Amino acid sequence: MEQAMDQIKLYNILRNALKMTEQDAGEFISAVGAVTSRELDIKIQALATKDDLRELSLATKDDLRKLSLATKDDLRELSLATKNDILDLNKKIYLIGLVQFIALVTSMLAIVKFMR
């Protein structure tokens, strides 16, 4: 209703102030209405609807859940790999200590044998 009143006001302004014919004023009002309607349709299509936002929210939550699970799996694998590396390192340290002990005992025996 308000839009129709605005169109009538514009029509009267075009007819009286700009001295347009009835047909020209009517065509101008129709053209302005069509352009305005198309622009409004374009802007409405660009807006996100509640369904669009809900779908985006669900997709985002699903992506975050997948990333969280992947991160937990990666951390678990990293923890296992670190534990295995620590065990291997401990074995190597023990083996090096044993080799050094054997070398020390052997050198002591060689010194004792040499002194006799």
Closest C-alpha to 25, from 3, 39, 7 = 7
Q: Do 54 and 35 contact (CB within 8 A), yes or no?
A: no
pLDDT cut 90: percent of the chain above it = 48
Query: For position 19, what pLDDT does the model report?
Result: 76
Structure-token match 């929210």, residue found? 57
What are the start-end ranges of the H helices in 1-116?
2-16, 22-46, 50-115
Contacts of 32 (CB under 8 A, 6+ apart): 10
Tell me the range of 9-18, 40-49, 98-107 where mean pLDDT is highest: 98-107
1, pLDDT greater than 70? no
Q: State pLDDT tens for residues 58-105.
A: 999 999 999 999 999 999 999 999 999 999 999 999 999 999 999 999
7, pLDDT greater than 90? no
Closest C-alpha to 7, from 33, 39, 44 = 33
Query: For position 99, what pLDDT does the model report?
Result: 96
DSSP 49: P
Q: What angle do CA 22, 25, 26 make, to 5 degrees?
A: 80
More confident residue, 19 or 78: 78
Query: For position 97, what pLDDT does the model report?
Result: 96
